[in-house]
A and B are shown apart, each in its own frame.
Chain A
Amino acid sequence: MNRTWHRWIPAVAVPAVVVAVAVTGGVAATASADLPEKTPQEVLALVGSSEVEAFSGTLEQSSDLGLPDVSALSSGSGASDDSGAAVSSALELATGSHTARIYVDGPERLRVQVLDTLAERDAVRNGDDLWLYDSDEQSAVHATLPSHDGGATPEGSFPGADGTVPTPDELASRFLDSVDPSTDVSLGSEQTVAGRDAYSLVLTPRTDDTLVGSVTIAVDAETGMPLEVQVFARGASSAAFEVGFTDLSLDTPSADLFDFTPPAGTEVTEKELDAPGHDGTGTDDDASDAAGHQDREPTVTGEGWSSIVETALGGDLTEITSNPLFSQLATPVEGGSVLQTALVSVLLTDDGRLLAGAVPAELLQQAAAAE
């Protein structure tokens, strides 16, 4: 046996090499870049001056909000009615992990493809035409934007975006809009995202009344485009929600991609778009639509990170509370039910008011009781 021991050398060496390559490959991907020094204000200005008109890339979204796996739930409950399916689909998009490809050519041509296993969900905007396509259901929704809305749609807030994942750009502008005295802005260590050198902006709320610990935005050093957004819950070391590019090209995508015609055999629904600027906070809208009544003005109390949005649902609450999804996700508390995630709390009071905010549930209960 002595003369044959060396024949086992490859059997030991090859797995060792494979493991070593796999591990160091991960380290090399996070190696820090060497960028000119900038102050946080200069990086903020860089984001503001970003003028990327056309790009294509791959987005990864992942979240760890502390919710049960909604995709398994929705398939288990059979998605009996349309409203329930819409709610669980929106929840699944917001809370699940997804890979999406995005193609943008100017403000009016955009395509987002959510890559599911053996299926895909597409959102296409070409000029005034909007398409939402779901290959699994073989269904499509078509809408035409009001013509006066032409160029007025703010970049990144795609009216059909309810059906897709948010882009880092969109998310970053939401957080950067809220940069005010309530937020501490600093620079983290430089990083590499999608093979590009990036500054990392760290937004930390100054108040203790919020669940959000900090928000990190990776800003492309060359173009000022946000490449990655990570939201950390208070005291958490890994991101509760993150979306970022794993691959980015600044070339103009092929024009064919925006020219969408649903394939034969697709069930096409025409949808009227009402008011432009309808801001897609998907789950809330769908939930209130499900309750079947007209929109009510939400009221906002508090400021900055600890603000609380309150809206009266009215109508019949049993439609919501009888949904099996609801009983799975929500926990009953005094005066209502609370849906608690790592970043957001939602309180549905027994008298039909819905309160939501990035604050602990107790603050919602106090706000509900204060009226």
Chain B
Amino acid sequence: MSSDTTAPVRPRRALGWGFFLSELSVLFRRRRTWAMLLALAAVPVLIAVAIRLTDDGNGGGGGPAFLDRITQNGLFVGVTALVVAIPLFLPLTVGVVAGDSIAGEAGTGTLRYLLVSPVGRIRLLVVKFAAAAVFCLAATLTVSIAGILIGLALFPVGPVALVSGDTVSVGESLLRSLLIALYITLGLLGLSAIGLFISTLTDAPVGAMAATVVVSIVAQVVGQLSQLEWLHPWLFTYHWLDFADLLRQPIEWSSFGANAVLQLAYVAVFGALAYGRFATKDILS
């Protein structure tokens, strides 16, 4: 955290930005972050190579959605990879980053030094959350872009058939891929807030990471149980797979809005809980 030593001479507003940028550079200079992004990029590459090697001309009907379309159009690799990555890989990496945010500083004993420099606890929480949000975007874009690139390399590329059966140009399909990445990033914000809250509860970063990932898995399991159907619209995972609404013609925006409202509610609730916990916590390490 030595990069923050110039902060005191700056005006208050610039302090926040400087702290945010330094937090980002710490996050993205870690080997762990790069390893996670590489692992995410490997998902579409593995899918594309596997399909390429076993190309038997038909999808066989099994596997994740859109899988059987890849041989016709390489641009579907990105979408298929996202379908595969959403249930486990993305929550896993987001859980690591969000769970580590406060507990990691506490675990390495740097948290009190952070707070000794004039950084308020609210500001620290906001900056940690913002950095986690940036990681969500980076992770989603990594899967999407790696998928598009490997698709370009291994498969023919042309106008894309949407789930409605209409066909759009390559340019518009790339725009829609970007929208999907934004949609999924938005969908991961609730989990990031939960991870941040859990991270304020403990000084053991591994525990916070594991707990965050478990929360996301439990939410998805509950989402599969039809006996708990009344609960489903309240789960932060409820809209995760609705990104396909962006692949309809015309685009169905209602799920985008509903997803945003739901995630905002989660961010508000768990942000408030994290503040309550963190502001009253005795920082001993």
A contacts, CB < 8 Å to B: 1, 4-5, 7-15, 17-18, 22, 58, 69, 101, 113, 115, 117-120, 122, 131, 133, 135-136, 138, 140, 247, 254, 256-257, 260-266
User: Is the CB–CB distance between A117 and B280 below 8 Å?
Assistant: no
List chain A residues, Cβ under 8 A from B68.
Answer: 138
List chain A residues, Cβ under 8 A from B254.
Answer: 58, 247
Contact of B72 among A1, A11, A13, A265 (CB under 8 A): A265
User: Is the CB–CB distance between B249 and A257 below 8 Å?
Assistant: yes
Candidate in B72, B226, B242, B250 with the most chain A CB atoms within 10 angstroms = B250
User: Is the CB–CB distance between B83 and A14 below 8 Å?
Assistant: no
Q: What's the Cα separation between A265 and B165 when bound, in Å?
A: 11
User: Is the CB–CB distance between B83 and A263 below 8 Å?
Assistant: no
Contact of A113 among B164, B265, B276, B279 (CB under 8 A): B164
User: Is the CB–CB distance between B165 and A14 below 8 Å?
Assistant: no
Q: What's the Cα separation between A147 and B1 when bound, in Å?
A: 77
List chain B residues, Cβ under 8 A from A118.
Answer: 65-66, 83, 163, 241, 244
Please list the 6 inter-chain residue pairs (A to B) with the smallest Cβ-Cβ separation, ordered nearest first. A263-B161, A11-B276, A14-B272, A118-B65, A7-B279, A133-B165
Q: A11-B272, A18-B265 are in contact. Are A117 and B244 (CB under 8 A)?
A: yes
Q: What's the Cα separation between A15 and B271 when bound, in Å?
A: 10
A–B pairs, 11, beta carbons within 8 Å: A11-B272, A11-B273, A12-B276, A14-B268, A18-B268, A118-B65, A119-B163, A135-B163, A263-B165, A265-B69, A265-B72
User: Is the CB–CB distance between A120 and B276 below 8 Å?
Assistant: no
Q: A11-B273, A18-B268, A58-B254 are in contact. Are A115 and B166 (CB under 8 A)?
A: no
List chain B residues, Cβ under 8 A from A22.
Answer: 265
Q: A7-B279, A8-B280, A58-B254 are in contact. Are A115 and B226 (CB under 8 A)?
A: no
Chain B 247-276 interface mask (CB, 8 Å, partner A; 1/0): 011101010000000000100110111011
Contact of B275 among A7, A113, A122, A266 (CB under 8 A): A7
List chain A residues, Cβ under 8 A from B83.
Answer: 118
- The reply on B167 being an interface residue by CB < 8 A is yes
Closest CB in chain B relative to A45 CB, distance in Å = 34
Closest CB in chain A relative to B244 CB, distance in Å = 4
List chain B residues, Cβ under 8 A from A119.
Answer: 65, 163, 244
Q: A10-B272, A247-B254, A263-B161 are in contact. Are A113 and B248 (CB under 8 A)?
A: yes
- The reply on B176 being an interface residue by CB < 8 A is no
Q: What's the Cα separation between A217 and B275 when bound, in Å?
A: 49
Q: What's the Cα separation between A133 and B272 when bound, in Å?
A: 47
List chain B residues, Cβ under 8 A from A256.
Answer: 166
- The reply on B245 being an interface residue by CB < 8 A is yes
